[in-house]
Each structure stands twice: as structure tokens, then as C-alpha cells.
């Protein structure tokens, strides 16, 4: 799980920076995702629209904003503009738990309105290609 944790942190940051996105989750995660959207609404009252949660396909979690896929957990490898978190050994539950904790921790810290609260990685440009090379190398 450690090799994908930075990508899950980037997915959490993308979710919190994108007002009014669509969070597509498996049906059995719908209530949990709705609770996260409510938490975002409570913690970031300056947002006009928290993410809209909709039911999607099993073992995939996707965030769309203005028609663009911002992150994908599970599923097939998308283009490099999407933050992709592959699900190894059908470990979707663990990915969900790490993502949820990242979101909660960032909200408590005041992200995205704070300076430096998301750690040094949040201020650097995201390098999706390098991240994929790291975790895909672990498969071979």
C-alpha cells in the first residue's frame, strides 16, 4: 500500500480543490462517500458546491470535474492527466480507508485554504508518470 499512498494523497487534494465535482463510487460505498461530501461541506463552507456523489461501477472510484477525470482508483490505466491508483490484490477497501483519512486530515488542517498544511508534496508539481513507474515496477 505504501507505494500508492502519495497518489491517494494527491487524489484527496484534487477532490478538495475541485468545487462541484462528481464523485462516482461503487454502490456499497455510496453512504460513506455521501458522509465525506457532507464533511467537506461542513469544513469548507466557502465552497458553493461539495462533490456530488453518484453510484458507479464496482471496485472503481472516480472524480470528474468539468468533464475531466481527475482521479481513478481501480480500473484500467488512464492517460497521464489522471491521478491513477491501481488496486492491487483486490484491496479496494484499504485504498478507500487511506483516501478517507487523507481527506479528513487535510480538512482538519485547513486545506486547501492553508499554506503548507498539506506537506511539501502538495506544493510541488504532481509527476504522475514517475508515480506510476514506482508502483508498476513493484509488480514486475
Q: Where are the domains of the chain?
A: 2-137
* Burial (CB count <10 Å: 0-12, 13-18, 19+), residue 124: exposed
Q: How many whole angstroms separate alpha carbon 22 and alpha carbon 129?
A: 24
pLDDT per position as a tens digit, 126-139 = 999 999 998 878 76
What is the rounded average pLDDT of the residues 76-93?
90
Q: How many whole angstroms separate alpha carbon 62 and alpha carbon 53?
A: 10
More reliable by pLDDT, 3 or 57: 57
Confidence bin at 47 (pLDDT 50/70/90): low
Give, in order, the Cα–Cα distances in Å from 17 to each of 88, 89, 94, 106.
Answer: 27, 30, 23, 11
More reliable by pLDDT, 72 or 108: 72
Q: How many whole angstroms separate alpha carbon 39 and alpha carbon 12?
A: 13
Phi, psi of 39 (to 5 degrees): -65, -40
Cell readout for 1 is 500500500
pLDDT per position as a tens digit, 4-46 = 889 999 999 999 888 889 999 999 999 999 999 999 888 876 7
Confidence bin at 119 (pLDDT 50/70/90): low
pLDDT per position as a tens digit, 33-43 = 999 999 988 88
Amino acid at each position: 500500500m505504501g507505494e500508492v499512498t502519495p497518489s491517494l494523497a494527491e487524489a484527496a487534494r484534487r477532490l478538495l480543490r475541485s468545487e462541484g465535482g462528481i464523485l462516482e463510487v461503487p454502490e456499497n460505498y455510496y453512504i460513506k462517500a455521501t458522509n465525506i461530501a457532507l464533511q467537506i461541506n461542513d469544513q469548507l463552507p466557502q465552497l458553493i458546491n461539495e462533490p456530488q456523489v453518484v453510484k458507479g461501477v464496482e471496485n472503481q472510484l472516480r472524480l470528474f470535474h468539468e468533464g475531466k477525470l481527475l482521479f481513478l482508483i481501480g480500473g484500467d490505466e488512464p492517460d497521464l492527466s489522471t491521478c491513477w491508483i491501481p488496486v492491487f490484490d483486490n484491496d479496494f477497501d484499504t485504498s478507500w480507508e487511506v483516501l478517507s483519512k487523507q481527506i479528513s486530515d487535510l480538512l482538519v488542517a485547513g486545506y486547501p485554504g492553508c499554506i503548507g498544511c498539506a506537506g511539501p508534496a502538495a506544493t510541488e508539481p504532481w509527476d504522475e508518470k514517475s508515480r506510476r513507474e514506482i508502483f508498476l515496477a513493484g509488480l514486475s
